[in-house]
Amino acid sequence: MTENPLPQDTWTVAGRSFTSRLVVGTGKYKDLEETAAAIKASGAEMVTVAVRRVNLSDTSAPMLQDYVDPKIYTYLPNTAGCFTAKDAVRTLRLAREAGGWNLVKLEVLGPPPHLYPDMMATFEAAEALIKDGFEVMVYCADDPVGARRLEDMGCVAIMPLGAPIGSGLGLQNPAMLAMLIEQAKVPVLVDAGVGTASDAAVAMELGCDAVLMNSAIAHATDPLRMARAMKHAVLAGRDAFLAGRMPRRLGADPSSPLTGLIR
């Protein structure tokens, strides 16, 4: 049996093209070996990383780069843990110096327990970063008005949350996400909130360009298997979006012909 070849399906952000529409975080794993194995199983080509102080009392400790090669994976430094625009900008300036590239993930968060994006602070940080030459992929509220503003400012990708960070609740506001995706002219990534494979498929079926997740894989009982499940879910969701789903109808419509029934 030969498979019907489908055209290559890629997405592009800031001039870089990716085949995988799954972007994964590198946090919360048992160790760096598991991190590397899960990322490989996910098929992701872009990974988010955090910027933190070096432990000066043990400078020989293994580093992430030794396990997740920045020459193979596109590192997307984040500003996780930043609650002010100033901290976020400072963190990403350090990230640019450490990594030598301009593509970053900006997130400025509100307080626990929601860690909801602080949009005012996000606008402020985005403006400073864009002025400073960064290419900003921005974590934001599921707010089409705010998202449009971030896009107009020059952000290279819009990344609305599906649900609170690390909650695994699945997409809480699919209708608003769909409208946000519909209006965007830059890539949209659903970021945060995915709990299991079906959530990732739902996100892709809405038409977003990619899905970003960390906890759903790292906190699964078997992270490697869940990484593989997510890879397939994202592919399935993307194909379902491109295929165009059948219309919903109230009531049954039998699949077998009614003619030729035995009497």
Partner 1 sequence: MMTTLTLTLNGETRAFPAPLSVHALLQTLGLDVRKVAVERNEAIVPRSTYTGVLLEDGDILEIVHFIGGG
Tell me the catalytic residues: 105
* Cβ–Cβ < 8 Å for 123, 101: no
Dist CA 19 CA 246 (whole Å): 26
Q: Does 97 bind partner 1 (CB under 8 A)?
A: yes
Q: Does 162 bind partner 1 (CB under 8 A)?
A: no
Among residues 60 and 259, whose Cβ is nearest to partner 1?
Answer: 60
**The token pair that represents 130 in the structure block:** 């864009």
Dist CA 169 CA 193 (whole Å): 6
Q: Which helix (DSSP H) or strand (DSSP E) does residue 176 occupy?
A: helix 174-183
Site string for partner 1, 173-192 (x = CB under 8 A): --------------------
The 3-state DSSP class for residue 11 equals strand
Q: Does 160 bind partner 1 (CB under 8 A)?
A: no
Q: Does 35 bind partner 1 (CB under 8 A)?
A: yes
Residue where the block lists tokens 């590192």: 75
Q: Does 240 bind partner 1 (CB under 8 A)?
A: no
Q: Does 54 bind partner 1 (CB under 8 A)?
A: yes
Among residues 64 and 178, whose Cβ is nearest to partner 1?
Answer: 64
**The token pair that represents 90 in the structure block:** 């400072």
DSSP 158: E
Q: Does 60 bind partner 1 (CB under 8 A)?
A: yes
At 178, phi and psi to the nearest 5? -60, -40
* Cβ–Cβ < 8 Å for 48, 105: yes
Q: How far is CA 193 from the centre of its chain?
A: 10
Among residues 43 and 144, whose Cβ is nearest to partner 1?
Answer: 43
Site for partner 1 in 199-228 (CB under 8 A): 213-215, 218
Site for partner 1 in 71-90 (CB under 8 A): 75, 77-78, 80, 90
Return residues touching partner 1 (CB under 8 A).
25-29, 32, 35, 48-54, 56, 59-60, 63-65, 75, 77-78, 80, 90, 93-99, 165-166, 213-215, 218
